[in-house]
Copies of this chain bind each other. A is one copy, B any other.
């Protein structure tokens, strides 16, 4: 099952690492404990809406972008876990008529 906190944690950690910043730096700017930020990044704690807003501000990212990234990651996970569709009767007919 896709969980928001897992995807959100991965996304936040990805942005922090791309900015080459430490947990200490971002947690200090966002005024959250280093341990708590670490747990949020690992998907072990739910971030409150206020904390998420603070983390986005600390990373200098609009929340809409972070949520877009989380949506994209969730879509990939949904696609990977979706059942493979079987060929339909309609598709078989198209092949037969083309032969």
Contacts and interface: CB of A to CB of B under 8 A. Distances in A.
Contact of A63 (B4, B64, B65): B4
If over half of A's interface residues share one DSSP class (helix, strand or loop), that class is named, otherwise mixed; here it is helix
Interface stretch (A15-23, A42-50, A90-98): A42-50
A2 to B, nearest CB: 5
Interface residues of A, number: 24
Contact of A6 (B4, B49, B70, B74): B49
A75 B66 CA distance: 11
A3 interface: yes
Interface of A: 1-6, 46, 48-50, 52-53, 62-65, 67-68, 70-72, 74-75, 78
